[in-house]
Amino acid sequence: MYLVAIAWGYVALMMAAAEALSPQGTLFGAFVTLMLYGVLPLGLLMYILGTPGRKRRRQADELAAQRDAGGHPAPRSAEGLAAEREEA
């Protein structure tokens, strides 16, 4: 995942450099090229590809929060189970 992002960033940087160094090019054009071809697509790509990792981390944090002091998982909801009677 990171190799593709690094390669795309390099290509976008080279495109911006070519725009800046061209006789008809401007620094503003190079900046726009870098933003529209480099930073914005890479940011979106990294966000989308990072979704499974964020989901795993969130689930691990929730599981850790549910554990009690003894290290046992917290009891799940009692849906579908009969209520326990107390004898007097």
pLDDT tens, residue by residue, 34-79: 999 999 999 999 999 899 999 999 998 888 887 754 556 555 655 6
40 DSSP 8-state letter:
H
**Chain segment 72-87, per-residue pLDDT in tens:** 655 565 565 666 667 7
pLDDT at 88: 65
Give the amino acid at 68: D
H-state helical runs in 22-82: 27-34, 40-49, 51-66
Residue 30 CB: number of other CB atoms within 10 A?
19
Closest by alpha carbon to 15, among 2, 6, 25?
25
pTM: 0.62
